[in-house]
Amino acid sequence: MRPITTFVRHNGIKALIGAEKCVKTVSGGKLCNNLFDCKPKYVGSSVRVLKETEDMTYIAKYGADGKISDGRFKILVTTDLHLWDEKPLIEKSLEMLARHIAAEKPDLVLFTGDVILTDFQQIDSVQFAQFMEKIGVYWAICFGNHEARDEKEYHKYFMLKNIVGFPHCLSKFGDEKLFGYGNFAINIMNSDNTIRQSIFMFDSGRDVYMKYLVRHDAPRTIKGYDFLKKNQIDWYKNSIRKLEAEHGKFKSMMMMHIPLCEYQEVMELDENGNYVPTGKAEILYGGMYESVGCSQFNSGMFDAVLEMGSTQAIFAGHDHINDFCAKYKGVYLVYAQCNGYNTYTMGSNYGWDEKDWMQGVTMVDLQADGSISFRQKFNRDYL
């Protein structure tokens, strides 16, 4: 019954949004104020999908000559739009995102969770997908802790089902045996059929439950945020082995919402209550203004990263006023720039003027040899 119900509900939502748009127009904007009003500029894309599997999509950038280009590939990463509650702040977050995309013209846009948090998530997930399709760039999203209530619930399944059918959305359900929804990879290909970069996206869950602790031999006293499960880690390792067997050694990145425990190794509180470098990592940019909201249980994903030797950067969201990029044991630990306004900020927590807030996006410049560099882009430039 699920596929039939999903089809009916999904198409019903699209029809409802279309009808509401008509009502809003006829009423002169007095009715149906739940609709997103942001009208982004069309950017378009020179990226094409080469092939797809259950849990992977292969893409490449094409040049004007109609051939695969090995030129710079630009990825825009952002997180925690927190599209929720106050309509003006929803529109502000979307407008800022649209401006960054129009300015940078990225080849791929990635969201590391906590995007659609409204009371009408099913409707607004479709609205958000429609917003992205108007821009015309390829994009993908992994779930955050506020979008999820449990790992295999129907509303979460339906949210993902709502977006995966849109032409430029690269999100996938992935292997149904894995924890959560939306464990998948995007492989960016070069002209010689080598992988320029593989991007692994994970559902990092919400909170720990006793069944997880028992199943993963974790201390029963653990509370708080969730952790990546063993079957997710095994999927990551097996995927790298399979891809290497076909394409040779390659570099990769990892995207998730809840940061790994290793993010705690970058900074620590001093005697004055300020976060300062621990000396264990090289900090490239940014700062830390709240504790790392990771799980109390380290399930071993970072050890798997070191073991496989492929992943050079890990991106997380979740902690809205942390924005550092640091190199720890040879791996970049990156906080994607938070872009949302319906959440706590440096203004609410520290009284900073908005012109100094860290809201924005993180740009990743990717070269043909797999090397990467990072740039922070701030919303304050558009105030």
> Exposed/middle/buried for 225, CB within 10 Å: 0-12, 13-18, 19+?
buried
pLDDT tops 90 at residue 231: yes
Q: Higher confidence at residue 200 or residue 12?
A: 200
pLDDT value of position 6? 62
Q: Could you tell me which residues come within 8 angstroms of residue 261 by beta carbon, excluding any fewer than 6 positions away?
A: 292, 294, 295, 298, 302
pLDDT value of position 215? 81
Work out the widest C-alpha separation in the chain, in whole angstroms. 62
Element (H, E) at 269: strand 267-269
pLDDT value of position 185? 98
Q: Which two tokens stand for residue 91?
A: 């529109």
Read off the pTM: 0.94
Mean pLDDT of 64-93: 94
pLDDT digits (tens, 9 = 90+) for 199-208: 999 999 998 8
Angstrom distances, CA of residue 199 to CA of 109, 153, 189, 312 = 12, 25, 11, 11
pLDDT value of position 14? 74
pLDDT value of position 22? 81
pLDDT tops 90 at residue 362: yes
pLDDT value of position 163? 94
Range 17-47 burial, b when 16+ CB lie within 10 A, else e? beebeeebeeeeeeebebbbebebeebebeb
pLDDT band for position 27 (50/70/90)?
A: confident
Mean pLDDT of 209-215: 82
pLDDT band for position 10 (50/70/90)?
A: low
pLDDT band for position 12 (50/70/90)?
A: confident
Q: Higher confidence at residue 354 or residue 13?
A: 354
pLDDT value of position 256? 98
pLDDT tops 60 at residue 180: yes
Mean pLDDT of 323-338: 98
* Long-range contact set of residues 240-248: C-beta below 8 Å, sequence gap at least 24: 240/198, 240/308, 240/310, 243/187, 243/195, 243/198, 244/310, 247/193, 247/194, 247/195, 248/194
pLDDT tops 70 at residue 7: no
* Degrees, nearest 5: CA angle 256-257-258: 105
pLDDT tops 70 at residue 9: no
95 touches 87 (CB < 8 A): no
pLDDT band for position 1 (50/70/90)?
A: very low
Mean pLDDT of the chain: 92
pLDDT value of position 25? 76
pLDDT value of position 121? 84
* Spatial separation of the C-alpha atoms in residues 370 and 73, rounded to whole Å: 10
* Spatial separation of the C-alpha atoms in residues 75 and 66, rounded to whole Å: 21
pLDDT more than 90, % of the chain: 78
311 touches 304 (CB < 8 A): no
pLDDT value of position 330? 98
Of 111-120, 273-282, 323-332, the one with minimum mean pLDDT is 111-120
Mean pLDDT of 248-255: 97
pLDDT more than 70, % of the chain: 94
pLDDT value of position 351? 96
Of 6-10, 22-26, 84-88, 192-196, the one with minimum mean pLDDT is 6-10
Type of residue at 181: Y
pLDDT band for position 357 (50/70/90)?
A: very high
Task: Report the first-to-last Cα separation within the chain, whole angstroms.
Answer: 49
The gap from C-alpha 12 to its chain's centroid, in whole angstroms, comes to 27
